[in-house]
């Protein structure tokens, strides 16, 4: 049977459920991201919102009545759950005091689902295995909590320990819960060291739970600190039941020394009166006067025992108070007040979560992520530009470019060589004149005079060539002239030719410039006049020269000046000059060519290879950097695309929830459960595909959402009786009190 309420639930799911997928993808993208993104808090917040939206959507889709149980540790919450479920819930009461929500609902076969803050889920079928698992998790959580506190931080499980357990769903055979469809939610105890669990979990059920039950032992009823926390609940729920857990077995001391039944057994209402008149704060008093808060003194242990045992006969003392509590709870869950609260709370909760989602997406870290992505894109373009320049330079003929120095320096080198050659010739002529005027040997002339002057010429010319090259190189761009385009590419690629030139100069090997100088004059080249004895003894010319100079390999005999004049004369002088002239001509030419091409050639080869090597290294460096930047950029863009899609869907859903609020906000409560004729069922537009933001046009929602189908939906679980369809308020009562008198 279709009702306005079932139509609302379908429309609500059509709007909100599509957000779960982009939330999943956004958190997964943030988790899987390789880059050190500054959005850890956003990921934790989105993961938290995803969980809360799923809880809300499932609650509305199944029309479940969530009944939350609050209270300090050991206040009797588990006992109350046993009583409400009509079955012994050992799977809940035996769990360690872990700060998470425990959802208890009916299922024919036992099943336990553990959900972590990271979104990961695990399923158990054995209560003992669940107990051990939660016990280990409790120790891990405590250790992580201590470490965080020692670091001076406030512990947040989403940030500091995403593997912490967020909730445990317990599904067991529970007859009363099966009939009612209610879900009992046990919350973390108040005042524990891990109080973050209570604070965080209660926020999840703001405007989302049907009602709350606050359990407190009578011993703690007058403790101010208990109700300091309890007053916060008044702002969260439209209806709260305060159950004061009595111990009717207590006994008091009478004036005569005997033990008599305590006031909790004889007149528990006097305890409540004392509390209301003496200890109740103004907010609690106002809630009682408004009917939002009702107080019930109950011996939960006896009530649960009777509920589980199904005892007949005499009603235990105090049982009436439990029956009254159960009746009021059942009446509220089947009332039109609850229907209005269910609808209104669902809309308000959805609006709050959507606003929180958009606020999370507006976090400064997301803006920082976009800025970083823009910076990465600019970096990518710059690296690509630099790599393109390096690739163009790699195809340039650098050997030819540096080889131009050869021609550029040639004129200056030739001029200097002529100048140095002229000076050397004069020096050699003077040396020859001095030798003829001394008794020095031919070897002394060659090795002590001629060769040193030739070496000096060689060194001076090498120094000049090296200096000329250095001047060109130090003038900039490695001594070569380049076109504007090539110079621009060098600058873009980050190649400094001046540095290349300096390093290449240092690679010139100066030892290669100093060639061994061949003997410029041999004794065989010097004509010698024969003496009379030479003629008489028929001495050959070789013997005559050896007797005058010494052996050809070692002409070290000293020759007096008179002998030189008589045996050598001008003829020998002229012959020596001609031989030296021929030698100098070859020597000067060869030396100039050798030094010129060797110095410039070494530099050219070294500089060209240095540029090519630098370009290879720079290309590898730029390629590696470009790959890293592109990977980071794609990572950022992937995350931003998911966040953009989520933002678009959230904005769209927020507009549609607003339209749904306008459509159902003023509906009379009685109309919510009236059957709708088929003709009255409007159509609901599809939620639309989940596409990246750039592929969607953001348009404000203009029309209210309506139902997509005219098929009968299941009646609200909290308002139905077994499998019967919802007809009227009487037929939809929750029978949590079956088995009681």
Give me the pLDDT at residue 134, please. 87
How far, CA to CA in Å, does 312 sit from each of 300, 306, 326, 424, 469? 18, 9, 18, 139, 117
Max Cα–Cα distance, the chain, nearest Å: 175
What is d(CA 109, CA 173) in angstroms, rounded to the nearest whole number? 7
CB 215 within 8 A of CB 71: yes
Half-sphere exposure of residue 9, counting CA atoms within 13 Å on the CB side?
25
In three-state secondary structure terms, 70 is strand
* Domains of the chain, residue spans: 40-362+711-719, 384-623
- The count of C-alpha atoms lying within 13 angstroms of the C-alpha of 126, restricted to the half-sphere facing its C-beta, is 4
The whole-angstrom separation of Cα 316 and Cα 297 is 14
The CA distance from 467 to 413, in Å, is 11
Question: Cβ distance 242 to 294 under 8 Å?
Answer: yes
Higher local confidence (pLDDT), 715 or 139: 139
> Does residue 206 contact residue 349 with C-beta atoms inside 8 Å?
yes
C-beta atoms surrounding 585 within 10 Å: 11
The mean-pLDDT minimum among 322-336, 403-417, 422-436, 696-710 falls in 696-710
> pTM, whole model, 2 decimals?
0.67
DSSP string, 428-466: HHHHHHHHHTS---HHIIIIIIIHHHHHHHHHHHHHHHH
Alpha-carbon distances, residue 723 vs 106, 175, 678, 712 (angstroms): 14, 13, 22, 13
What is the per-residue pLDDT for 540? 86
**H-helix or E-strand containing 578?**
helix 569-664
- Residue ranges of alpha helices (H) inside 94-126 are none
Q: pLDDT at residue 664 above 60?
A: yes
Q: Residue 129 in 3-state DSSP?
A: helix
Cβ proximity of 328 and 241 under 8 Å: yes
- Which residue is associated with the tokens 């009363």? 176
Contact 17, 60 (CB under 8 A): no
Helix (H) or strand (E) holding 30: helix 20-32
User: What is the distance, to the nearest Å, from the Cα of residue 722 to the centroid of all Cα atoms in its chain?
Assistant: 50
pLDDT band at 730 (very low <50, low <70, confident <90, very high): very low
Running DSSP on this structure, what letter comes out for residue 520?
Answer: S
- Is pLDDT larger for residue 729 or for residue 247? 247
Residues in the chain, total: 741
pLDDT recorded at residue 311: 56
CA-atom Rg of the chain in angstroms: 52
Mean pLDDT of the chain: 80
- Whether residue 189 contacts residue 72, with contact meaning beta carbons closer than 8 Å, is answered with yes
The pLDDT tens digits of the residues spanning 517-527 come to 888 989 888 89
Nearest alpha carbon to residue 221 among 138, 326, 129, 296:
296
Q: Is the pLDDT of residue 684 over 50?
A: no
Predicted confidence at residue 633, as pLDDT, reads: 92
pLDDT tops 70 at residue 176: yes
Q: Is the pLDDT of residue 84 over 90?
A: no
Q: What is the mean pLDDT of residues 262-269?
A: 72
Cα distances (Å, whole numbers) of residue 594 to 269, 470, 480, 588, 601: 121, 18, 22, 10, 10
Cα separation, 143 vs 328, whole angstroms = 43
DSSP code per residue over 348-361 = HHHHHHHHHHHHHH
Average pLDDT over residues 225-249: 79
Select the more confidently predicted residue: 439 or 342: 439
CA quadruple 661, 665, 670, 671: dihedral sign: negative
Share of the chain above pLDDT 90, in %: 27
DSSP state of 530: P
Q: Which two tokens stand for residue 338?
A: 């609850």
Are the CB atoms for 493 and 386 separated by under 8 Å? Answer: yes
Contacts of 670 (CB under 8 A, 6+ apart): 336
What is the distance between the alpha carbons of residues 385 and 494, in angstroms, rounded to a whole number? 11
DSSP secondary structure code for residue 275 in this structure: I
Going by C-alpha positions, the residue among 674, 710, 724, 725 that lies closest to residue 4 is: 674
Distance CA 451, CA 448 (A): 7
- Which of 51, 4, 5, 1 has the alpha carbon at shortest distance from 27? 51
SS3 call for 119:
coil
The predicted pLDDT at position 689 comes to 41
Residue 112 and residue 121: Cα distance in Å, rounded?
Answer: 10
Is residue 166 within 8 Å of residue 101, measured between CB atoms? yes
Q: Which helix (H) or strand (E) holds 630?
A: helix 569-664
Residue 611 class from Cβ within 10 Å (0-12 exposed, 13-18 middle, 19+ buried)?
buried
Flag whether pLDDT at 404 surpasses 70.
yes
pLDDT band at 583 (very low <50, low <70, confident <90, very high): very high
Classified by CATH at the fold level, domain 40-362+711-719 comes out as Rossmann fold (3.40.50)
User: Which segments of 152-244 does DSSP mark as H helices, in order?
Assistant: 157-160, 175-180, 196-204, 224-234
β-pair partners for 170? 104, 112
Specify the pLDDT at position 361. Answer: 92
Q: What per-residue confidence (pLDDT) applies to 89?
A: 78
Q: Kindly report, residue by residue over 304-341, the tens digit of the pLDDT.
A: 888 887 655 445 555 778 888 888 888 888 887 788 88
Could you give the CA distance from residue 179 to residue 173 in angstroms, rounded to a whole number?
A: 11
């Amino acid at each position: 049977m279709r009702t306005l309420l079932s139509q609302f639930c379908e429309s609500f799911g059509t709007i909100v459920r599509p957000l779960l997928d982009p939330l999943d993808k956004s958190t997964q993208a943030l988790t899987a991201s390789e880059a050190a993104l500054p959005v850890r808090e956003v990921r934790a917040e989105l993961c938290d919102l995803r969980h809360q939206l799923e809880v809300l959507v499932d609650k509305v889709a199944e029309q479940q009545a969530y009944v939350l149980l609050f209270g300090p540790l050991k206040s009797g919450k588990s006992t109350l759950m046993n009583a409400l479920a009509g079955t012994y819930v050992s799977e809940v009461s035996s769990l360690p005091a872990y700060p998470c929500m425990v959802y208890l609902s009916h299922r024919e076969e036992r099943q336990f689902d553990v959900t972590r803050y990271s979104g990961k889920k695990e399923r158990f079928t054995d209560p003992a295995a669940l107990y051990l698992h939660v016990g280990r998790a409790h120790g891990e959580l405590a250790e992580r909590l201590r470490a965080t506190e020692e670091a001076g931080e406030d512990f947040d499980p989403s940030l500091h320990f995403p593997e912490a357990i967020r909730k445990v769903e317990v599904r067991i055979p529970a007859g009363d819960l099966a009939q009612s469809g209610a879900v009992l939610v046990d919350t973390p105890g108040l005042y524990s060291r891990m109080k973050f669990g209570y604070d965080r979990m209660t926020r999840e059920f703001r405007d989302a739970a049907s009602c709350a039950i606050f359990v407190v032992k009578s011993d703690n009823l007058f403790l101010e600190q208990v109700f300091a926390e309890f007053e916060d609940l008044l702002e969260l729920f439209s209806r709260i039941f305060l159950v004061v857990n009595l111990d009717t077995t207590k006994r008091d001391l009478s004036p005569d020394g005997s033990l008599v039944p305590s006031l909790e057994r004889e007149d528990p209402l006097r305890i409540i009166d004392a509390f209301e008149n003496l200890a109740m704060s103004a907010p609690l008093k106002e809630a009682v006067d408004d009917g939002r808060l009702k107080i019930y003194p109950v011996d939960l242990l006896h009530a649960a025992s009777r509920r589980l045992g199904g005892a007949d006969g005499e009603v235990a003392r105090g049982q009436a108070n439990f029956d009254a509590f159960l009746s009021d709870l059942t009446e509220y869950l089947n009332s039109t007040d609850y229907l209005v609260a269910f609808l209104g709370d669902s809309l308000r909760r959805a609006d709050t979560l959507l606003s929180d989602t958009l606020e999370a997406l507006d976090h400064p870290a997301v803006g920082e992520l976009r800025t970083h992505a823009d910076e990465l894109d600019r970096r990518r373009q710059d690296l690509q530009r630099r790599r393109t320049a390096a690739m163009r330079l790699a195809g340039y003929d650098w050997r030819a470019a540096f080889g131009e120095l050869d021609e550029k320096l040639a004129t200056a080198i030739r001029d200097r060589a002529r100048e140095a050659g002229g000076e050397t010739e004069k020096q050699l002529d003077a040396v020859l004149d001095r030798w003829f005027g001394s008794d020095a040997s031919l070897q002394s002339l060659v090795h002590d005079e001629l060769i040193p002057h030739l070496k000096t010429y060689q060194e001076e010319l090498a120094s000049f060539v090296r200096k000329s090259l250095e001047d060109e190189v130090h003038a900039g761009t490695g001594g070569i002239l380049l076109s504007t385009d090539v110079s621009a590419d060098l600058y873009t690629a980050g190649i400094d030719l001046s540095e290349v030139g300096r390093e290449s100069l240092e690679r010139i090997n100066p030892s290669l410039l100093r060639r061994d100088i061949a003997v410029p004059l041999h004794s065989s080249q010097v004509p010698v006049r024969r003496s009379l004895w030479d003629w008489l003894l028929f001495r050959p010319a070789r013997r005559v020269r050896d007797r005058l100079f010494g052996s050809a390999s070692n002409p070290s005999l000293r020759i007096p000046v008179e002998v030189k004049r008589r045996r050598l004369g001008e003829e020998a002088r002229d012959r020596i000059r001609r031989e030296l002239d021929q030698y100098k001509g070859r020597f000067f030419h060869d030396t100039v060519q050798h030094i010129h091409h060797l110095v410039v050639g070494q530099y050219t080869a070294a500089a060209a290879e240095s540029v090519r090597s630098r370009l290879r290294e720079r290309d590898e460096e730029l390629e590696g950097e470009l790959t890293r930047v592109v990977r980071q950029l794609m990572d950022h863009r992937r995350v931003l695309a998911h966040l953009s899609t989520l933002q678009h869907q959230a904005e769209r859903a927020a507009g549609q929830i607003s339209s749904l609020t306008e459509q159902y906000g003023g509906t009379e409560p009685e109309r919510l459960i009236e059957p709708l004729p088929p003709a009255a069922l409007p159509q609901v537009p599809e939620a639309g595909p989940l596409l990246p933001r750039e592929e969607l046009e953001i348009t404000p929602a203009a029309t209210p959402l309506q139902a997509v189908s005219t098929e009968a939906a299941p009646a609200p679980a909290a308002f139905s009786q077994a499998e019967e369809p919802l007809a009227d308020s009487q037929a939809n009562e929750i029978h949590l009190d079956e088995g009681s008198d």
